[in-house]
Amino acid sequence: MIKAVRGTRDLLPPDTALWSFVDETARAVFRAYNFQEIRTPIFEDTQLFSRGVGEETDIVSKEMFTWEDRGRAQSEKGQLITLRPENTAGVVRAYIEHNLQTRGLNKLYYIGPQFRRERPQKGRYRQFYQIGAEMIGPPTSGSESPARDAEILELLATFLDRLGISGWTLQLNSIGCAQDRANYNEALRNALDPVKSRMDPDCQRRAVTNPLRVFDCKVPEDQPIIEQLPRISEFLDEPCRKHFEQVQEILKSVGVPFTLNDRLVRGLDYYSRTAFEFTHGALGAQNAILGGGRYDGLSEQLGGPKAPGIGFAIGEDRLVLALNRSAEEMQSKPDVYIAPLGAGMDRESARLARELRHQDLMVELGDETFRLKKSLETASKLGARFALIVGENEIKADSFALKNLATGEQVSVPHSELVERIRPNS
């Protein structure tokens, strides 16, 4: 038997009802904040990620699904193509390619699959799903303002609250401007040089290639070493410090709680200034639901104009795990189950079902070969509110037996009154 590839999975009912609830809630919140949807290809030129995300990140060095696209001629070298491991670089590529700077501040969101070749674990898959948003534009559009950072964070707090996720924690940090990071990386290299030999081999590699990534090391034995390293807050210049203070002031004014965490870094090279994560205790040790931050220099890295931006990505697989709701509770149930009785009644039932569906009622159709007992059992199993019996006598009288499956009450209802009787809250 052929099965789904390791690290992938099928999303089935009733679980898909939870996913739909999350997607619909996200779209409603994005609409309230005037974000518009963008849909980018699921694969891109590999250079987009090596240049934008960073050659030394785990994503680029270990986790990307990359292949060579065949050239037109047998001898022609093909283009390197990569399934997108994240979507910010693709959105910024689209911003540059389509000259979106002429629109001023762009507020864009996306919902869709991403791909990384990593070890599958709880809530983490090789094909996983993200909900994300980017706010990007020329400096004249106000895209650099700390108000934009606070707006993104307040949007996320609203989204989690609307989903019914309580007990989340917003962790906040500033990882500085470009020169701050250069100075900080130099200080980290100097601090790590005498102790890196005692660290995990992967952490040793990071200490050499990209010292900031050392803070992503999860090996317990390395944590005492990491705890003694210099802190980025000591290296912020005045503009970056002021920017971060203003973000905090706005968050306090709108009532969004946060915790400062000067060990928080983001795993991609393009981040600068504000960095953040929302965490939740239901997810165990790897408790981040979502994360994001500023990427003020990414457009220039990709050959575009200066376009400061801030964004986030939500791991939807892990977000669904944090929902305090059952899938069965979220799944839609039919308003009515139509039970055809006798030969020729499938045709009449289909006609009636079409009529009711055009009135936005959710209808499930039975089959004329079923006995009434089987039809009623099926209707109850599906969670239908009513069973509508369609037989020869009902067709002649143009009045139908309507059974309330919760109370057991059965009444005869004229054809013209069916919609009113079946419609919820009628």
In tens, the pLDDT along 149-208 reads 999 999 999 999 999 888 899 999 998 887 777 788 888 888 888 888 888 887 888 888
* pLDDT on residue 201: 82
In a domain, 59, yes or no: yes
Owning domain of residue 409: 333-422
CATH code at position 298: 3.30.930.10
Q: Does residue 89 share a domain with residue 142?
A: yes
Mean pLDDT of the region 243-254: 96
Instruction: Give 183-189's long-range contacts (Cβ < 8 A, gap of 24+).
Output: 183/235, 184/212, 184/230, 184/232, 184/235, 185/210, 185/211, 185/212, 187/230, 187/235, 188/212, 188/214, 188/229, 188/230
Q: Does residue 340 share a domain with residue 317?
A: no
User: Which residues contact residue 150 at a Cβ distance below 8 angstroms, ignoring those fewer than 6 apart?
Assistant: 247, 250, 251, 254, 256
In a domain, 33, yes or no: yes
Among 271, 296, 322, the domain boundary falls at: 322
In a domain, 193, yes or no: no
* pLDDT on residue 318: 85
Q: Is the dihedral of CA 49, 55, 58, 62 positive or negative?
A: positive
Question: Residue 69: is its pLDDT beyond 70?
Answer: yes
Lowest mean pLDDT across 12-16, 228-232, 400-404: 228-232
Mean pLDDT of the region 37-66: 82
**According to the per-residue pLDDT averaged within each range, which of 136-140, 207-211, 316-320 is highest?**
136-140
Question: Residue 55: is its pLDDT beyond 70?
Answer: no
Q: What is the pTM for the complete model shown?
A: 0.83
Q: Are 359 and 379 in contact (CB under 8 A)?
A: no
Mean pLDDT of the region 398-412: 94
Mean pLDDT of the region 17-45: 95
The count of domains in the chain is 2
What stretch of H or E contains 58? Answer: helix 58-58
In a domain, 191, yes or no: no
